[in-house]
Amino acid sequence: MKYKIITLLLFVFTVSSLSQQKSNPKLVVGIVVDQMRYDYLEKFYDDFGENGFKRLINGGTNFTNCKINYIPTVTGAGHASIYTGTVPYFHGIVANNWKERKTFENVNCVTAISTTNKMYVEGISKTLSPEQLFSTTIGDQIRLSNNGNSKVVSISIKDRGAILPAGQAANAAYWYDDQNGKFITSFHYMKRLPQWMIDFNNSGIAKSYLNNKWNLYKSLKVYKDLPEDNSPYESDVFNEGKTSFPHTFKNLNDKQKYAKLSHTPWGNQILVDLAKEVLKNENLGKGKYLDHLAISFSSPDKIGHDYGVLSYEVKDTYLRLDDQIAELLSMLDEQVGKGNYILFLTADHGGMENTSRLKNMHFNTGVLESTNYYDNLVGFLSEKYCSDSLIAARFSRNLYLNYNVIKKLKLDPAEVEATIKDYLLNNIPSITEVFTRNELEEMTASRNTNNYILNGFNNKRSGDILFSLKTNYLNYEKKYGTQHGSRHSYDNHIPLIFYGKSIPKSVRNEEVFIEDIAATVCDLISVTQPSDCIGIPLLKK
């Protein structure tokens, strides 16, 4: 009798363990669509098929009010915030580029800090790495959870779109080299490309897409809700003497063709092609341990910058991306199995309407640099302090003080900051908010929208005076297409959909934030949140 009880208990324990093991997802997939405004899901919904965006929206949890709560809303900061679950104040990626505070030289968000003496190896970058990122990522935490047995791979067209989601401990981050149409990686992750990637690069797939003509994907009536196709607000990307459909590569030289491939929907397609190879050759989702695949579609950002948010090209890109996502989901179903993976889809930022179009529609719009504000500011400081060198550098909405000059003139830095703040607020109508380093260092970022500038500030990298602009105003002239970077809804309202194993079918409209993504994913897979995560889990297990 005792033996039967023990046997029964062992059987129950085994079944319970297997059931528990079976309930865990085998793969986490993150999809970031670069420059995707939330309203695209609604505007284009009726023209989508059933197996792409609609499958995610109707089969998962759609958060309709997800916001970015810092500025600037740009690619580097967005990808870092999504995967670290925090804001630039903590993760350090304050923009795509910033000024080094001692030398005032430009720093790229994925510039390698450590040096390498390794010989040149084709496909391996010696200059780019994730070292600028202060915080761990979802992938880092997955790898830490099982002593590095999980596989983590990140792919994108842009280097920052691949490297920042990958984090420090990933197996690989691959991005597109627009000089030759091949994918490359960083010395940080490996010494040489795997053979399957070499084969993929040598297959001629990128070159094959250069023979394609970019025609409208669907019938002309689908696009009639948009303004004219041949628009004065669009750039002539392909040297065709027009901006309307169709588009071809025939007027470009070979080097230009590879660079402009990513400015077409084929940039998205080649990423789907690569995802298929990654899934197959790395056996993602088929092993004992949970794996992670991060995909960032960069081409929508490039196309948006070229043509603008109301263009035929942008809508056509999303109609094609809809089917490309359907293709990706089909791959996941086949490779991992329905119900064996979880997926999220979001964006790193949105995009603003073209300022020239807005002006012609009688909106209050403008460009800060066209007001000569900086020269006027320097003139004011020169008159007040007898020096035109108090500001050492500037980028975006940051001004860096020259502390050597301030010290030499025996000035109080806080007083100089306050003087500049007062001048900007009272003399530059397009500037709405100004914070000084002295003020910001007395505060701490948080999960709210109380202070977008504070959340986007980092004391090691940001300037000494930071400001924001009025609605529909830009820092620099953007004659064609769109731009982004502000705290306004066209830039900070992004899609957020969770889909897959144990994700309920629902629509949620409470305000949530970009940093909640990592917190939610890690909670769903029972992994410790990234090191500086300030987000909260949005779904119950």
Q: In sequence order, which residues have a C-beta less than 8 Å from that of residue 225 and are 6 or more positions away?
A: none
pLDDT at 115: 73
Residue 423 pLDDT > 70: yes
Query: Which of 40-44, 292-296, 477-481 shows the lowest per-residue confidence on average (mean pLDDT)?
Result: 477-481
The DSSP result for 52-92, as a single string, is: THHHHHHHSEEEEEEE--SS---HHHHHHHHHHSS-HHHH-
Asked if the 25-354+484-524 domain carries CATH number 3.30.420.40, the reply is no
Query: Which of 110-124, 305-319, 460-474 shows the lowest per-residue confidence on average (mean pLDDT)?
Result: 110-124
Percentage of residues in the chain having pLDDT higher than 90: 92
CB contact at 8 A, 490 and 350: yes
Helices (H), 262-365: 266-282, 299-307, 312-335, 355-360
Smallest CA-to-CA distance from 79 within 274, 349, 292 is with 349
User: Over the range 22-61, which residues count as b (16 or more CB within 10 Å of their CB) and which as e?
Assistant: eeebbbbbbbbbbbbbbebbebbeeebeeebbbbbbeebb
Mean pLDDT of 266-275: 98
At 111, the pLDDT band (50, 70, 90 cuts) reads: very high
Domains 25-354+484-524 and 366-474 share a fold: no
Percentage of residues in the chain having pLDDT higher than 70: 95
pLDDT at 17: 42
Q: What is the CATH number of domain 366-474?
A: 3.30.1360.150
pLDDT at 11: 45
First-to-last C-alpha distance (Å) of the chain:
39
pLDDT tens-digit series, residues 499-523? 999 999 999 999 999 999 999 999 9
pLDDT tens-digit series, residues 202-238? 999 999 999 999 999 999 999 999 999 999 999 999 9
Give the start-to-end residue ranges of the domains of the chain.
25-354+484-524, 366-474
pLDDT at 20: 40
Q: How far apart are CA 346 and CA 37, in angstroms?
A: 9
* Both tokens assigned to 361: 């529609």
The secondary structure element, H or E, covering residue 17 is: helix 2-23
Q: ∠31-36-40 over CA atoms, to 5°?
A: 115
pLDDT at 118: 67
pLDDT at 23: 63
Smallest CA-to-CA distance from 173 within 181, 182, 184, 134 is with 184
pLDDT tens-digit series, residues 456-482? 999 999 999 999 999 999 998 889 999
Catalytic sites, residue numbers: 75
As a whole number, the mean pLDDT across the chain is: 94
The one-letter amino acid at 51: N
Residue 21 pLDDT > 70: no
CB contact at 8 A, 79 and 160: yes
Mean pLDDT of 441-463: 97
Mean pLDDT of 299-326: 98
- Whether the full predicted model's pTM is greater than 0.85, yes or no, is yes
Smallest CA-to-CA distance from 467 within 459, 477, 479, 457 is with 457
Q: How far apart are CA 215 and CA 319, in angstroms?
A: 12
Residue 132 pLDDT > 90: yes
